[in-house]
Structures are given as structure tokens and as C-alpha cells.
Amino acid sequence: MYPIFLIDRLLVTDICAIKFGSFQVHQLDHVDHFPLAMTTGDIDWGPCPFKFENSWLSTPSFRPPVETWWTNNRVAGWPRHGMMMKLKALKCSFRSWNNNKHREATKLPSLISQL
């Protein structure tokens, strides 16, 4: 019988240490394990720009509005900054689209029962 143990170590090569400079290791709390997360640099990018559900891709009404939102939002400046600003603008659009989609989905059972 092998003893039960937790892997709580990180292996970092000299090349990684030179490339990334300073980094921190954080222990994440999960139900049955404690994975380690390594963060590099001092940049705090904040929370994720938006929550994306893969099921949205299978919805026919999803792609046309996304294309419209993406092309209508013009941002000048540094490319990564522009991408970040576009994603931030999409966050509100995704939220309103998702809320409208759920409103329609909740109406569907009542419409079916009326038939």
C-alpha cells in the first residue's frame, strides 16, 4: 500500500525563471484537491471580461448579433488594449442577449401549453 500524499511542489527551470522573472504560487481550494496556480508579473487584469457559454454557439440567433457588435465597436490604439475594450463592450451585449434568450425560453412552455 502506498502512502497518500499531496503534490505541493512546482518545478521551475532556470529558463522559466529568467523569462518570467518574479512569480507567485497560490493554492486553490477545491472540494477534493488543492491545485497550485502560478502567476507571473505584477499586472492585475481584473475579472474575466465576460462569461461565455458554449451552448450559445449552437443557437442560430447568436452569430449575427455578435458580428454586428464586433464590427460596430471601433477602438484605436494598442492592439491588446483594443481587444480588451472590445471584449468589455461585448460583455453588456452578451448579458442583454442572454437575458432576452432566457425570457423567450421561459415563454416557450406557456405557449406550448396554450396549443
Task: Annotate 62-89 with b (16+ C-beta within 10 A) or e (fewer).
Answer: beeeeeebeeeeeeeeeeeeeeebbeeb
Query: Are 24 and 64 in a shared domain?
Result: no
- DSSP 8-state assignment for residue 60: T
Q: Which domain holds residue 21?
A: 7-44
Confirm whether 28 is domain-assigned.
yes
pLDDT of 50 reads 64
21-34 residue pLDDT tens: 777 788 877 766 77
Amino acid at 26: H
- Residue 14 predicted with pLDDT over 80: yes
Residue 38 counted as domain residue: yes
d(CA 72, CA 75): 10
Q: What is the pTM of this model?
A: 0.41
Domain match, 58 and 82 both = yes
* Contact call for residues 49 and 81 (beta carbons, < 8 A): no
